[in-house]
Structures are given as structure tokens and as C-alpha cells.
Structure 1
Amino acid sequence: MKQPLSLTWELDSIFPGGSSSTELESFLKNLEQDIAALQGLVKNAVAPTDVESTKALDEVIELLQSCSGRLVEVSSFADCLGAQNQMDKGAVRLAARVTSMRAGFEGISSQFSNVLRQTTDKVWAEWMARPEIAPLTFVLSESRDLAREKMSPELESLALELAVDGYHGWSGHYDTIVSSIKIPFEDEEGTKLLSAGQAFNKLDDPDPKVRQSMFHKWEEAWTEAADNCADTLNHLAGFRLKLYKGRGWEDILKDPLSINRMSQDTLNAMWDVITNSKPALVTYLQRKAKLLGLDALSWVDVEAPVGKSSGKIPYDQAAKDIVTQFRKFSPKMAEFAERAFDNNWIEVEDRPGKRPGGFCTSFPESKESRIFMTYSGTTSNVSTLAHELGHAYHSYLLDDQPVFNQNYAMNVAETASTFAEVIVSDAQVKAASNAEEKLALLETKIQNSVAFFMNIHARFLFETRFYEKRKEGLVNAEELSELMVEAQKEAFCGVLSEYHPHFWASKLHFYITDVPFYNFPYTVGYMFSTGLYRLALQEGASFADKYDSLLQDTGVMTLEDLVLKHLGVDLTKPDFWQGATDLIVADINEFLEMTEQLV
């Protein structure tokens, strides 16, 4: 792996010239022409009456996949441009254009789903048995079944068109709100204005004065933006609720569960096991408060470091460590990570104007990925980097699959990313040079459990209750903050001294329109990945191939069927989830033992 690594990514290999790229414009025009051609084909398509007439739809299926892959390509490019520079007006225009194209494409897809819906079961079985079509059976059947539960194709197409300036438009408006936020920060160099992303990184500063000061300024900034954020959140939820009502869907979780290809029974089994494990986390948080010299932790102390790690970790060192730790599990994963670093797929520079947070996005046409984050040298940053590389590795394993089969749900996406993160964090703990460093790294691992079991549980509780309240009318900023604190108190078992009322405003995930309920899939992924890691420890080197095979099937199975096929496990039962929790509780017990003499 080359050193030193670039702190900025390389996008010109995708489309040279950014948002004004002539190659991009040519690509977009060709895509628009193909979408128009696809619209004509689908408009004239009729449900096949025998296996021979299904062949007339081969061209439609092929073009649907081609357009879908290219839409992801340009959408990912627009996301990258907007994230690296929130003031890039060309990126904003590109994103709007792509959103409009996607709405048109989704409308066409909806119309084609109606053709699938009208196909008789007998012809369907013969159609899916054709060798050319058989690999797409799961995705096509899923589309057919879902079409039977939606509105008419005409109404679904209209809803998609209205979503461009309505539903998705409000999500874009939230990005504008975030880009305007500037938070003052004082250090030895004087006062500087930080973007939301830069300020967020200060919330887990080792210095309690820094993080407490920033937390209050953070709350003040989001209090000022609260009314605009409340408007945005209400309109996003209102659009969803109206759409669900039109489809006859009463359960707010029907859509996110369907998108994540999992059942309510599986979700309930997981949350039940988590709830039963929370006393161990409460004990950990109480011990942590004592270690920090506090009667109880405030919200901003939850992720504060205990003990001392080896200081700031240079980016090049973090990359080297991640590759080394990946190699212990899978040489294939390590080689892929080296490729990502060497080819400048990763943007980590700490500078103003960047979007907060981190993400990985795939380019199916180029068969590449790009990773975005702001790296400031913390162990948390290293975990984020490993996490996003896990996403990229997942996409890489699906590069040669049909485009339809590359679309996997968020919960299994978070499984791949969190598994990579667990590999790194576990290796860091085992390789610690002294007890103090080991304690710091072990505590970072446990912090992840708190995030997935408590923080994300709070988000899930908040969003569930918000949607129920939104059915009755608009929910103002003060009410949203009350719901947020109520959910945080329940999820954290009342163990904190101070909560984060405006978390609902500051958290991007509540405003993402690609996937509703952008919360519980994270916890599913964390628990699933931890359970997989437990099996990896038991089975040794042979598990790497099994892991790859499981990921390669993530686009063509429900979560329950995926796990049953590859692991022989029933996820609607508590056993697998309990096994994952046992590993987490073991970490907590080790932490408590190591700190017994320190309080």
C-alpha cells in the first residue's frame, strides 16, 4: 500500500470535471434517451399469456437493469460532489436532475410491476423457470407481490412525480438548513466558525470542558434551526402517511420492514433480547460516570473516552492497521481495502464546507466505491473508516451479479460494515500495548453497544411515536423535543443526568428519504454482525468463505431465509440474538473487572 495516502478522493475517473463534466452530460443525455425508450416499451407491454410471449419482455428487463445501474452511478456522483462541498451549486442542480430522472424511472418500474402483477401464476412459474430469467426470480417476484399491495400504476407514478419537489424536496431543504449552520469554537488560535460536521467531531473530545461547551453551543444552534427542521420533518412524515393511506397500509412499520426484507417477529425477537440485556449496559454507564468523577453521565459524556489511547492516530497508520486486521480474517478483504486506499477512493480531509457524517456509495458501472468522512485521528474515526470499507467490500462482492441482484437492504448492508468494524475494534483491544490503552479500546467497543442498543433504540421509539402523533396533525418543535427526551429516557433506562432535546433536528437520518425508519436496521446489522463474528471465532479461517457467500446472497433473499440457508438459524427465535448479546456482555464484564480498583 502506498504511503503517504491522499486525504481527498479522486472523482475524475468517474466523470472528469465535476458537475460541469462534458462526459457526465453525455452520460446523462444517453440515460435520459434510454429511459424514454424504456417508457415506450413498458407502455406497450402486456402481461404474457404463455412462456413464449414472456420473451418479448426480455428487452424491457435488460433495459430496466441498465438504466437502474446508471442512475445509481450518477446519483452517487452527485452525492459525492455535494458532500465534499456544500456550496457547490452545480452539484445541487445535478442532484435535482437525477432525482427527477429517478422519479420517472421509478414510475416506469411501477408500470412494469403492473405487467408482472397481471401475469397468471401458471405463466409466472414457467417464466421464472427460463434459464435467462431464473437468477432474477426473487427480485421480480418481490416486485410483483408488492405491486399487488399498492395503488394503481397511474397513482403510484403520480406520487413518484410529486415526490420530487415534495418528499425528496424537503429532504434537500434539510441539507440547506445544515449547510447554513455555523458554530463558534475557541481554542489557542482564537475563535473560529465550525461547520456542523466539524462541530460534531468536538462532541467526543477527551477534554470534558471542550465537549460540554460544544454541546451547549450545539443545542443552541439547533434550537435556532428547530422551527425550520420541524416544518421539514412534518412534511416528510405527512407525505409518507398520505401515501400509505392511499395504499391501504395502516402499520407505519410495514414499509420499512418490507424494504429491509424482514418480519416483525424477527424485529421483536431482537428488541426483546436487547431490552433484557440493558441492565448490564446501565451498570457500565454507572461505572463510567464514577471513572469520570461524575454522579451521572450527561448525554455528551456517553461517548467520552475512559482511559488513554495512544493519542491521535495518523491517517496512514489507521489505514495500515485496518488492512493488517482485515488480513487476519480474510486476505481477500485486506487486498480490497488496499485497492481502495491506493486508488484514492476515500475522502477524509478535515476542512470547512463538508457535509457532516460519513457514508460509502457505490458506482456499479465503474465497479468502484467512494467513502466520505472527516478524519481527525480518533479511535472512533478509525472505526468509521473500517465501517465504510465494510460497505465497499460488500458492493465489491456483488460487482458481477445482475444489477437487480445488487440491491440489498439496509440491515444486511449494516451487517457487512459493522462486521468490518468489529474485526478492527476486537483486534485493537487484543493488540493493546498496556492496560490503560486496552481499557480505552475496550470501552470504545462497548460504546458501540450503547449506540445500537440505546441511542438507536431511542430514535426508533421517537420515530414510531412521532408518526402516530403526526396522524393527528402537525407536531411543533417543542413537542418533538419532548418526544425525543421521553424516548431517550426510556432507551437509556433513565441513567443519564442530561439529554439531547434537539437530537431530532441535528440527526440527518430522520430526514433521509431513500429508506423510512433509518434506525432499527443499524441495530439489526450490529446484532447480526456480532452474531456472525461469534461464529467466526468458533469456526476459524474457514468462516471467511462462508461470510462472502452469505453477502453475495443478500440481494436475493429475505433476512430470515438468508440466515437459515447459510447458518441454519431461525431469527424469529431469541437464540442467535442472545449469542450476539453474550459477546457484548462479556466485554462489559471485562471492563467492570478492569476498573474495579479505579473507583
Structure 2
Amino acid sequence: MKDETKYSQVWNLDKLYPDGSASTQFLDHISHIESKVFSLEEGLNFFNTPKEINHSSKVADLIDNIGCIRINLSQANSYITCLLAQNPQDQNAPTLKGKTSSISARFDAGLKKLQKILVKTDHHLWEDMLDTADLNPYKFILNEWRKKADMHLTDDEESLVSDLMVDGYHAWGQFYHSLIGSIKVNIQVDGERNELSVPQAINLRSHPNEEVRKESYYALEEIWEEKKEQFAKILNHIAGFRLQVYKKRKLENILEEPLMENRINEETLSAMWKVVSKNKQPFIKYLNRKANMYGHTKMKSYNFWAPIKNTNQKIKYEEAVNFILEHFSQFGTELENFSRQVFNNEWIEAEDRPNKSMAAFCASFPISGESRIFMTYGNRITNVLTLAHELGHAFHNHAMKSINGINRQYPMCIAETASTFSEMIILDASMEKAESGEEKLFLLDEKLKRSVMNFMNIHSRFLFEERFYEERKAGIVSSSRLNEIMHEAINEGYVGSFDNPSIHSWAWTPHYYITKSPFYNFPYTFGYIFSLCIYAKAKEKGKEFEKDYLALLRDSGSMSTEDLVMKHLGEDITSEAFWEKGIELCVRDVEEFITLTS
């Protein structure tokens, strides 16, 4: 029986484009983008290196066109993502995706061409042009473009690299996902033998029965061992291609690209990891205490995600919505009003039904000034937290509505700020409202699992990737050596607090196989601690903090991360003191956990 509620659990995509993947309006939208890209290409054919200051207006015209194309592409890609999530078997959506991918490739080529023209501008003239009213709003982005253009290859080389990426580099990434998708895992669950997909088998890590968790863990380990040569080949080819491109672009430091993409410097990253490394002892204490509760002296890998207590609390969707709105209202009027708009306007797909995609996400529709949230709501507190998390992403999109398209793209390390902030509001409110010690303990454990993942698991991923890439420079890294590097990284990341960790996690962690971004790890830890610091300030200042919070979100696409935090929080993120403040909050959670379980 469906949950009766005044809030719809099925989103409305027809308000964006009627008739789904068969929408003629959406095809018109794609055609509109294509014509915009053609116009950009034509304009670039007649655009030369600026020679005088009044050429700044021509550059501004090109920027306006680029910003317009970017938000139109974002709208199109979001719509296709939503179509495939609500129905992975949609036959037309992949064709639409192919069309937008082709247009995106042309757009990227045009953008690189403009960057290469601009980089030839005389330095003094460039500085004068950036101070004009036309270009000053885009000063940060234009300087970023100029820096990236210095790393570009010749036109012929760039063209060759782009061609090779499609059938080589990106193809290896796609092959990885196809390989994972083809694997079936045979596991006994609740007395029945089941053939599960890899995601389904991994999800059993939170099953209440330890035997099920254990069987799933070892069944997967056998598969990774059996297929390790295939995974090693894929990983080596992805890394090898990336390193060859770095070599051509004269990038010696493997962290240079991810640091640039996240708009942080190495000093900031180093300060963060130093503080994380110095503060792991409390979390080891938490892991050991949790292991003891399961009758073990050390945390078993298959028990980490297990619920600390079996909570049977059911939270209906309408109750969840009202709870979120009530507690968001204590932190800001705009946050509450916006979230109410999301619930009332059918922007959420939360229905628990088969044949949906598994992953929760928030998609931005900048042309329409809307978002869409996708998840499956199962009446559990963890679902309420997911809902709050995705609402945070939508609020970040809402904050950026008035920002020019060129200044809307914020780095990944900032991308989780609003979402984690919103989730923390609801998690803390749920703990305060908890009617029993068991319920509170369950929530505290959920909170601490997030801390361990960010301080220990993500750190081990970073260490693995850093060491693997250094070794890959000398040639192919064998599967057995990958196991060794992974084992060393996990032991260092968790400080030896895990019993029999998965040395094959290099094979089943999809982040290592992402071809768009290397080091898809440290931004998570950065965003987690950063959002905790913001949350602490919000609790201290109350509703008056919302104005500063919105200003920070709006600037998140047009400043270095160091400057952003200094401007809006008055904090120096290259200093260890900043990171200590965030981790201190998590250490308090450990202390409470130890007290509650004593």
C-alpha cells in the first residue's frame, strides 16, 4: 500500500519538456544548442589575439555566448540523466546523450581554441583588459583559462588526443563499467540462494545478519581475485594515457591537474591531510569499541557498515518532509521557503518502485531555474538524511540562479558543502529528538561512519592513487603489486585498525576508473570538514548566518577556494588550525559514542 501523503513522491519532468525522450521540444532545445555552438565556431574563425584594450568587448561577447551554451548543455544533460534514472531501459535517451556528447566535444574544442588565442595576448594589455567593466566580473575565470591554455598542445596534437580519448582513454573507463555490470555474485540471503549484481552484493554490507555480510564480502573477494588481471589492465591503461598527456603538457606533479580543478594549492591539501593524520586515534577507539560489540577485538571489514542497533522506526514521507522543513527553518528563511517550493512543485522522484536507477542525485536545470532530486524513499531515517543531502545540492543550484553561466561552475571540493550542511542539520535534529538510547546510538553511528570514511577510507584511496601513479611512470604495475600498494595504503589510512581489509579495493572502487577527473577522493574529505566548519558557524549565529552562507555559495564558482573561505569566513585554509576546528566536532561524537556504549 502506497504512503498517503499530500506531497507527491513522483517528479514532474513534463513541466520541463513534455513527452519524455520523445519530446519534440527537447529536440528543439538540442538544435538550439547546436546553432549556438556553430555561432561560437564562426565567431572564433574571425577572432584574433587582442591588440588593444577596446577588444575587451569582443571577448565579453564570446564569454556571454560560452556561458549561454554551458547552461543550455547543463539543462540538456540533466534532463537525459533524469530520463535514464527513472527508466534505465529508455531506448531513446542514449541516442539523445550521443547527440549532446557530440555537441559538447565541439564546444570544448571551441573553448580551447579561444583560450589558446587569449594566452598570446600581451601580459600588460591582458591586465588592463581584465580591469575593464566588460571583463572584470570574469577576471578569475579568464586567468584560469590563460593558465590552462599554457598547458595545451598544438592544434594537431590536441585533435589527436581528443580522438584517442574517445576510442582509447574513455573507452577503457566504459569497459570497466561494462565488466562490473556483467558480474553476477551468488549469495545466500535469508535462506535463499540469489544471483546478485555487484551493487546489490555490496549493499549487503549493511545487512543485519553478520553471516550474510561475511558471505557477501568473501564472495566478492573471490571474484576480484579471479578477475584482477582484467582490472589491472584497465587501470594501467587509464593511468598510462593520463601520464602520457601530462608528459606532453610538461606536468611533472601528478597532483597539479586535480589541484587546479579543485582551485586549491598544495599547501592547503597538505595542511588538511596532516591534521587528519594527527587525529585518527579517537576513530580507532570508535572502531575497536564497535568491533567489541560484535564480539571481535578488531573491526572486521564486513562489519563496518553493519547497523549498530536494529532500528525498526518507520518514518512516512510526509513526516520526513515536515521534519526537514521544521528544522531547516531554524537556520534560514530562504532555505525553508526554497525546500517547501521543491516539495510542492513535484521536483522529487522518491517513489519506492522497481526498475529505477539505484544512486541518489540532484540535477540542475539552470534555464528553468529548477532542480530535480532522484532517490528511493524507504521510510528509514537514512532515507530522510539522503533527502536532506540532495535538497542541499538543490539549494546550491538555487543560490547560483543569478550568476552568469561562466561563473557557475564550482569545484568538486565545494560541491558537497551545501549538501553536507543540510544533512548535518537533520542528523543532529534527529539525534536530539531520539526517543531512546538505541535510536540515538544508531544515528551517532551513522554520523561516525561518515567521519571514518572521510578521514580514513578516503585517505587510503588518496595514498593508493598517489603511489600507484608514481610507480606507473616506470611502466605497467602488476596486479600483485597493486594489491600490495592497496594493502599498505589501507593500513596507513586506517592505522592498522581493520582486520583483513580488502586488498582488492583498487579493483571495485569506481573512482579510480573515472577518466574525467583524477584523484576523485580528497575533495570528499575537504568538503566534509569544510561543511562542518560552516555548520558550526551557522549554529553559533543562527538565522543571521544565512546571508553570509548564500554569498559564499554564489561566489563558489568565481574564486580560488582559499580566497573564497578567507572572504566569507575569515579563515586561512592553508593553516592546520582551520582543519582542527572541523575534526574537533567529530572527535566529540566519538566521546559520546564511547559514553553511550559503556
Q: Read off the aligned partner of 1:307 and give its amino acid letter.
A: K
Give 1:21 shift: 2.8
Distance, in Å, in 2 between the alignment partners of 1:317 and 1:221 is 42
Cα distance in 1 for residues equivalent to 2:586 and 2:261: 28
Does residue 423 (structure 1) correspond to residue 430 (structure 2)? The answer is no
* Residue equivalent to 1:167: 169
Secondary structure, counterpart of 1:329 in structure 2? coil
2:459 aligns with one of 457, 462, 484? 457
Aligned to 2:533: 531
Q: Distance in 2 between matches of 1:407 and 1:493?
A: 36
Q: What one-letter code is carried by the residue in structure 2 that aligns with 1:9?
A: W
Equivalent runs, 1:147-226 vs 2, <5 Å: 147-184=149-186, 186-187=188-189, 190-223=192-225, 226=228
Letter in 1 for 2:313: G
Distance 1:184 1:378, change over 3 A: farther
Q: Do the aligned residues in 1 keep the contact of 2:333 with 2:543 (CA within 8 Å)?
A: no
Residue of structure 2 equivalent to 1:485: 487
CA contact 1:179–1:355 (8 Å) conserved in 2: no
Q: 1:499 to 1:379 in 2, by over 3 A?
A: farther
What CA distance in whole angstroms lies between the structure 2 residues aligned with 1:270 and 1:356? 32
**Could you say which residue in structure 2 is the equivalent of 1:287?**
289
Per the alignment, residue 512 of structure 2 pairs with: 510
Q: Distance in 2 between matches of 1:7 and 1:431?
A: 25
Look up the match of 1:134: 136
* 8 A contact 2:84–2:93 mirrored in 1: yes
The one-letter code matched in structure 2 to 1:419 is: F
Q: CA deviation at 1:206?
A: 2.6
Matched residue, 1:261: 263
Choose from 58, 61, 69 the match for 1:59.
Answer: 61
User: Structure 1 counterpart of 2:100, which letter?
Assistant: V
Q: CA deviation at 1:272?
A: 0.6
Q: Which segment is superposed worse, 334-343 or 39-48?
A: 334-343
> Could you tell me which residue of structure 1 aligns to residue 450 of structure 2?
448
Deviations 1:202-258 (A, max 9, x none): 221233233223323343455555444433333322221111111000111100000
Match of 1:362 in 2: 364
Alignment counterpart, residue 273 of structure 1, candidates 250, 272, 275: 275
Contact 2:63 2:406 in 1 (8 A): no
| Cα shift at 1:285 | 0.7
| Counterpart residue number, 1:469 | 471
Letter of the 2:409 counterpart: N
1:375–1:211: structure 2 CA closer, same or farther, 3 Å change rule? farther
Q: CA deviation at 1:347?
A: 3.4
What's the CA shift string for 1:263-283, capped at 9, x where partnerless?
110111011111111011101
Cα distance in 2, alignment partners of residues 210 and 9 from structure 1: 35
Q: 5+ residue gaps in structure 2? A: none
- Give the partner amino acid of 1:444: E
Query: 1:68 matched to which residue of 2?
Result: 70
Determine if contact 2:208/2:307 at 8 Å carries over to the other structure: yes
Give percent identity, aligned residues only. 39
Name the SS for the 2:134 alignment partner: coil
Cα distance change, pair 142–441 in 1 and its aligned pair in 2 (3 A):
same
Pick which of 339-348 and 264-273 moved more: 339-348
Amino acid of the residue matched to residue 444 of structure 2? Answer: L
CA–CA separation in structure 2 for the residues paired with 1:9 and 1:186: 36
> Over residues 526-583 of structure 1, what are the superposed CA-to-partner deviations in whole Å (9 max), with x where a residue is unaligned?
0111111222222232212211111111011111101111111111111111111111
Change in 2 beyond 3 A, CA 1:329/1:471:
same
Mapped partners of 1:352, 1:232: distance in 2: 32
Of 567, 570, 594, the residue aligned with 2:569 is 567
Report the secondary structure of 1:10's partner residue.
Answer: coil
Which residue of 1 is the match for residue 375 of structure 2? 373
Cα offset, 1:101, TM superposition:
2.0
Q: 1:268-417 maps to which residues of 2 (within 5 A)?
A: 268-350=270-352, 354-417=356-419
Q: Which moved more, 1:307-316 or 1:107-116?
A: 307-316
Q: Structure 1 residues 364 and 140 mapped into 2: Cα distance closer, same or farther (>3 Å)?
A: same
Q: Is 2:262–2:411's contact at 8 Å kept on the other side of the alignment?
A: yes
Aligned mates of 2:58, 2:586 — CA distance in 1: 54
Q: Does 1:237 align with 2:239?
A: yes
CA distance in 1, matches of 2:361, 2:231: 22
- 1:42 maps to which residue? 44
Shift of 1:262: 0.3
1:349 is displaced (CA, Å) by 4.5
What is the match of residue 520 of structure 1? Answer: 522
Contact 2:236 2:476 in 1 (8 A): yes
Q: Distance in 2 between matches of 1:382 and 1:216?
A: 31
Q: How many angstroms apart in 1 are the aligned matches of 2:355 and 2:224?
A: 18
Equivalent residue, structure 1, for 2:35: 33
Q: Confirm or deny: 8 A CA contact 1:104 1:160 kept in the other structure.
A: no
Q: CA deviation at 1:418?
A: 1.3
Offset of residue 478 of structure 1: 4.0
Pair 1:236–1:366, CA change in 2 (3 A): farther
Change (3 A) 1:455 1:374: farther
Q: Does 2:586 match 1:584? A: yes
Equivalent in the alignment of 1:540: 542
**How much has 1:35 moved relative to structure 2?**
1.2
Instruction: Report deviation, 1:311.
Output: 2.8
In 2: Cα distance, 1:511 partner to 1:341 partner: 36
> In the TM superposition, what is the alpha-carbon distance from 1:181 to its structure 2 partner?
3.6
Rounded to whole Å, the distance in 2 between the matches of 1:393 and 1:186 is 42
CA distance in 2, matches of 1:175, 1:36: 33
Task: Deviation per CA, 1:3-56: give whole Å up to 9, x if none.
Answer: 254444333333333334322222222222221221121122112211223323
Partners of 1:382 and 1:299 lie apart in 2 by: 26
1:231 & 1:95 partners in 2: Cα distance? Answer: 28
Query: Taking structure 1 as reference, are residues 517 and 82 closer, same or farther at Cα in structure 2, changes over 3 Å only?
Result: farther
CA distance in 2: counterparts of 1:8 and 1:507, whole angstroms: 31
Alignment root-mean-square deviation, CA = 2.5
- C-alpha distance 384-111 of structure 1, shift in aligned 2 (>3 A): same
CA displacement 1:404-428 (0-9 Å, x = unmatched): 1110000011122211121121111
* Aligned partners of 2:5 and 2:317 also within 8 Å: no
C-alpha distance 33-161 of structure 1, shift in aligned 2 (>3 A): farther
User: CA–CA distance in 2 between the matches of 1:456 and 1:426?
Assistant: 23
Answer yes or no: is the 8 Å Cα contact 2:56–2:132 preserved in 1. no
Moved more, 205-214 or 131-140: 205-214
**Deviation at residue 429 of structure 1 after TM alignment:** 1.3
* Partner deviation per Cα, 1:349-400 (whole Å, 9 max, x = no partner): 4555544433322122222223333444444333333222211111110011
Counterpart CA distance in 2 for 1:213 and 1:382 is 29
- Structure 1 residues 13 and 184: CA distance shift in structure 2, 3 A: farther
One-letter code of the match for 2:216?
A: M
What is the alpha-carbon distance in structure 2 between the residues aligned to residue 175 and residue 348 of structure 1?
25
2:16 match: 14
**AA paired with 2:25?**
E
Q: Counterpart of 2:309 in 1: which secondary structure?
A: coil
Q: Contact (CA 8 Å) 1:195, 1:353: kept in 2 or not?
A: no
Amino acid at match of 2:522: F
Structure 1 Cα separation of the partners of residues 362 and 340 of structure 2:
16
